[in-house]
Structure 1
Amino acid sequence: MVLNAGRELERMYDLPPDLLRLRTLRTWHAMWVVRINEAIAAAEQREREKRQGEERRPPTPDWIMEFGIGVGQRPIEVHVGGCSAARKRQRPITREQAVAALDEGIRACIHCRPDTELGVL
């Protein structure tokens, strides 16, 4: 029994003994709980928005045709979908269109190698 009383005293020493400081600590900790709850709510909102963005994003096309600048915008290069070397002037194409473009002499991207992926060398 004496041992348990000693532990109780040890636990009590980490808090101030007077009522004013105890209430001050409770207020301070309550303030932090509110801030932590707000931070949790903000993090959950960011996660929801990220998940919604991923769900709404269209799927990456299998093949991409990159086009040049100017009138007519001629096709200049074929890429595998998601190739980081493909520039902004691009359009998704089918496998058949990619093969036909390569057969017509349109350049294959040297980074993603669509000709290798398509088996057209």
Structure 2
Amino acid sequence: MSVSPEERLRALRFLRRVQARDLARTGQWIAVWEQRAAEWAQRPKPVVPDWALQYGVGGRAARPAMVHTSQCWVPGATMEGISRNQAIEALTRSGVPPCIMCRPKRELGVLD
């Protein structure tokens, strides 16, 4: 079965209209996401604490288990950001042990 040139042209023009509509819709999506990206870039960045307190089983209701630097990460652990003074107090007065991997005592200058 052969297609006449007029039918072929009609099909190609239809295809061009569909593609133009799709291209316009894609342009709208891009504009929306460019706006969202600009808004995202303007958001304030979260402050990362320099020290972290890890809690034992039971989360924050449990006794603190370990002091870490902020770069140390323990999978599945409940951790909370703390200040330098809080980290020193936890290590010296509260008897919370330091992490043996990140060695916060060395970073804090706390000697035994």
TM-score range, shorter chain: 0.5 to 0.7
Give the TM-score normalised by structure 1: 0.58
Equivalences, count = 103
Q: Given the superposition, is the C-alpha separation of residues 69 and 22 from structure 1 closer, same or farther in structure 2, using an over 3 Å criterion?
A: closer
d(CA) in 2 for partners of 1:75 and 1:112? 17
Could you tell me which runs of 5 or more consecutive residues in structure 2 were left unpaired when the two chains were aligned. Answer: none
Q: CA deviation at 1:63?
A: 1.4
Q: Given the superposition, is the C-alpha separation of residues 115 and 26 from structure 1 closer, same or farther in structure 2, using an over 3 Å criterion?
A: same
Question: Are residue 59 (structure 1) and residue 35 (structure 2) matched?
Answer: no
**Matched residues, percent identical?**
42
SS in 2 for 1:66: strand
Q: Aligned runs of 1:33-112 on 2, under 5 Å?
A: 33-41=23-31, 43-44=33-34, 47=37, 50-51=40-41, 55=43, 58-70=46-58, 73-85=62-74, 87-88=77-78, 90-104=79-93, 105-112=95-102
Match of 1:31 in 2: 21
CA RMSD of aligned residues (A): 3.4
Give the TM-score normalised by structure 2: 0.62
Greater gyration radius: 1
Match of 2:103 in 1: 113
Q: CA deviation at 1:102?
A: 1.9
Q: CA deviation at 1:27?
A: 0.7
Could you tell me which runs of 5 or more consecutive residues in structure 1 were left unpaired when the two chains were aligned. Answer: 1-15
